[in-house]
Chain A
Amino acid sequence: MTVNIKQTIGSDSALTPASGEIIYNILQDQIETGKVIDLDFKGIEIITSAFLNAAIGRLYSKYSSDELNALLYIKNISTDDLSILKKVIERAKEYFTDKRSFDERMDQNLE
């Protein structure tokens, strides 16, 4: 299926974590059932890292890079926005790697 961000959030400006969460919920539902998604940025004028963290960065809490590469495809994204998305992805990977190792250390300490 194709998820057009502009149509889904009803705005050409993807700014807030709340809007990002709308996209996240749709992506998560589709990924859970193993369906391929085209995430379409057509019509988006401006986007923030806060939106992308909530919509996409958060996916790394549940899914691996391999799972996301197999099921999620980015379409019609501008060069500017792609550079921000790449930074968000890089940061999310680091964040959840650190968080998992932190949580594991905490669990070991509590055992």
Chain B
Amino acid sequence: MKEFFNIPIPHSLKADSDGYAFLSWVAGHTLLIHDSEIIVDFQSCSFIEGNLCAVLGNILESLKNRQNEIKIENVRIQVLRVLARNEFLEGFGYSFYTPKFYSTSIPYKKFNLEDETAAREFFALELFGKPGMPQMSQSARKAILRNIFEICVNAITHAGCDYVYCCGQVFNVKVNPKVSITFVDLGNTIKANVNNYLAENLSGNEAIRWALIDGNTTKAGNEPGGLGLKLLQDLILYNKGKLQIVSGSGFVEISEKNVKFIGQELDFPGTIVTIEIKLGDPNFYILSNEKQNTSNIF
């Protein structure tokens, strides 16, 4: 007879300390479960930030890979619409129809980046191609897309995972329109990578702090690195957006105003990156149009 494991989704699941603590609890407590029945119980849940489906989905997919049966139950209608629009439910055999034409979701998806054009087209369509989306300059769009892929490539390179999972939610409102996108992998944590590289014993927050310093990289061999997170921080500053990194016991939140080293009690066995990009300023990323000389560039 199969054993049961119940995942009680809280009343409100947001990208904050409580939300990440809950997701860390789920990831940690289900890490060794196999051949069981997993009940994902939404009975108490009346609000979920859609982008967090990336984390929940990655955890549930890895449970499926360990021959667990996933059952999603007791979903309230307002939550059901969110989970249907971002195509999270489809991945777990839950059928519910909702019109997607005016969807403000970036669908739940896993990437391995083998088809680079397809990956770019997905984000170009799902992020900038929706009806009624605020228009942005070509440079701003490119900067956002580039940074999305910097995150994805970093996750796959450093975490040792085959896939990175992502999901996003567009808040296309008149005042301060924005998009939140979450990326997640259940691979090596930043703390493990940094401590292994430095032969140190840094805390989760200290390891993230080290990784955020311009030029620091845990890549070995003859390939420089350490620029991806710097570019991402630059984007957040130009855009006045927000960046959250959760990995192991580390939880760091970066905004235009400050860097908060929050930390968390339970380890997350992987890395979550959530970016919040403001969509109200179409020209936030302006580069000089002056023709630049490329001779003697090296």
A interface residue numbers (CB < 8 A to B): 9, 11-17, 19, 45-50, 53-54, 57-58, 60-61, 65, 68-69, 72-75, 77, 79-80, 82-89, 91-92, 94-96
Q: A46-B142, A94-B215 are in contact. Are A11 and B117 (CB under 8 A)?
A: yes
- Within the assembled complex, what's the spacing in Å between the Cα atoms of A88 and B294? 14
A24 to chain B, nearest CB (A): 9
| B266 close to chain A: CB less than 8 A | no
Q: A48-B153, A79-B292 are in contact. Are A74 and B227 (CB under 8 A)?
A: no
> Count of B residues near A, CB < 8 Å?
38
- Within the assembled complex, what's the spacing in Å between the Cα atoms of A79 and B289? 7
Q: Are B231 and A96 in contact (CB under 8 A)?
A: no
Q: In the complex, what residues of B have CB within 8 A of residue A15's CB?
A: 113, 116, 119-120, 149, 152-153
Q: Are A50 and B142 in contact (CB under 8 A)?
A: no
CB-contact partner of B226 in A69, A77, A91, under 8 A: A91
B interface residue numbers (CB < 8 A to A): 113, 115-117, 119-120, 139, 142-143, 145-146, 149-150, 152-154, 156-157, 215, 222-228, 230-231, 287-290, 292, 294-298
- Within the assembled complex, what's the spacing in Å between the Cα atoms of A58 and B223? 5
A103 to chain B, nearest CB (A): 11
Q: Are A17 and B157 in contact (CB under 8 A)?
A: yes
- Within the assembled complex, what's the spacing in Å between the Cα atoms of A65 and B296? 8
Q: Are A88 and B227 in contact (CB under 8 A)?
A: yes
CB-contact partner of B153 in A50, A80, A92, A95, under 8 A: A50
CB-contact partner of B227 in A17, A45, A61, A91, under 8 A: A91
- Within the assembled complex, what's the spacing in Å between the Cα atoms of A47 and B145? 9
Q: Are B215 and A49 in contact (CB under 8 A)?
A: no
- Which residue on chain B has the smallest CB distance to residue A41? B294
- Which residue on chain B has the smallest CB distance to residue A64? B298
- Which residue on chain A has the smallest CB distance to residue B234? A87
Q: Are B223 and A82 in contact (CB under 8 A)?
A: no
Q: A48-B153, A50-B150 are in contact. Are A19 and B116 (CB under 8 A)?
A: yes
Q: A46-B142, A47-B146, A73-B295 are in contact. Are A11 and B116 (CB under 8 A)?
A: yes
Q: In the complex, what residues of B have CB within 8 A of residue A91's CB?
A: 215, 224, 226-227
Q: Are A46 and B295 in contact (CB under 8 A)?
A: no
| Leading 8 A-B pairs by shortest Cβ distance | A68-B298, A95-B224, A61-B222, A13-B116, A49-B227, A13-B120, A74-B294, A50-B153
Q: In the complex, what residues of A have CB within 8 A of residue B298's CB?
A: 65, 68-69, 72, 89
- Within the assembled complex, what's the spacing in Å between the Cα atoms of A83 and B287? 9
- Which residue on chain B has the smallest CB distance to residue A61? B222
Give the most central of B150, B228, B298: most A CB within 10 Å.
Answer: B298
Given contacts A46-B149, A61-B222, A89-B297, 12 further A-B contacts (CB under 8 A): A13-B149, A19-B116, A48-B153, A53-B223, A57-B223, A69-B295, A84-B231, A87-B231, A91-B226, A91-B227, A94-B215, A95-B224
